[in-house]
Amino acid sequence: MLHVPHAATAIPAEVRARLLLDDAQLAAELAAMTDAHTDLIAAYAADAARVRPWSLVNGLSRLVVDPERFPDEREPMTAVGMGAVYTRTSAGAPLREDDPAAAQALVRRWFEPYAAAMTELVDARLAATGRAVVIDVHSYPRERLPYEIGGADRPEVCLGTDAAHTPSWLVEAARAAFADYDAAFDSPFAGCYIPLKHYGQDARVHGLMIELRRDVYSVEPGGPPTGGLAGVGAALARLVDACA
């Protein structure tokens, strides 16, 4: 499965009304925080792969809710105002009021149905094949953003792993698929997305996070894709084929 959680910029009107940014500030924040064109990269890889993977692509901006965060105290990014519901921007400015009741309402409205859809997809793959591989498709800017708490390295490709859910064969497959790029494991970002139902519970569910530096395939910040998109899309297709 290809999972693309952060490619969209859409924000429902009722959510936009509670954000503290003016239109220009919001546009700048979306340019900084959106994983631009990762949906196109995933689509390219799906088309190019020998066996077409399932895909789940978030249609809403991560400024609505971030479906990849823990929705509770386990989430370390809560320390910088970026738990499941962000209260701070990438530069640390206020994004929305720190209102736990409003945040919980957003979790119920948007986070929980998304998590249920991903869980159902994984369960369906387990039922059909006896295993599931979730490849998480992300991107990050060449210049480090103030909110980041990871390492300072900015490789062309960062491959995030989990001790319980990323087996050695998947590590080696990723290394081979992205051999043409300056790639690093778990720096500046680590971990990968596994539905909470399966996280730490089901060894049949494997995961790997792909973080692509945006200047490799697009014009920063938030500009159009370049010819580099085909290269990273082909590399991702090679990884899909190795998983299949």
Residue 49 has pLDDT above 80, yes or no: yes
Average pLDDT over residues 94-100: 96
Is it the case that residue 81 has pLDDT exceeding 80? yes
pLDDT above 80 (res 95): yes
- Over residues 118-168, the pLDDT tens digits come to 999 999 999 999 999 999 999 999 999 999 987 788 999 999 999 999 999
Sorted by where each starts, the structural domains of the chain and their CATH numbers stand as 2-243 (3.40.630.40)
Three-state SS annotation for the chain: CEEECCCCCCCCHHHHCCCCCCHHHHHHHHHHHCCCCHHHHHHHHHHHCCCCCCEEECCCCCCCCCCCCCCCCCCHHHHHCECCCECECCCCCECCCCCHHHHHHHHHHHHHHHHHHHHHHHHHHHHHHCCEEEEEEEEECCCCCCCCCCCCCCCCEEEECCCCCCCHHHHHHHHHHCCCCCEEECCCCCCCCCCCCCCCCCCCEEEEEEEEEHHHCECCCCCCECCHHHHHHHHHHHHHHHHC
What's the pLDDT score for residue 185? 96
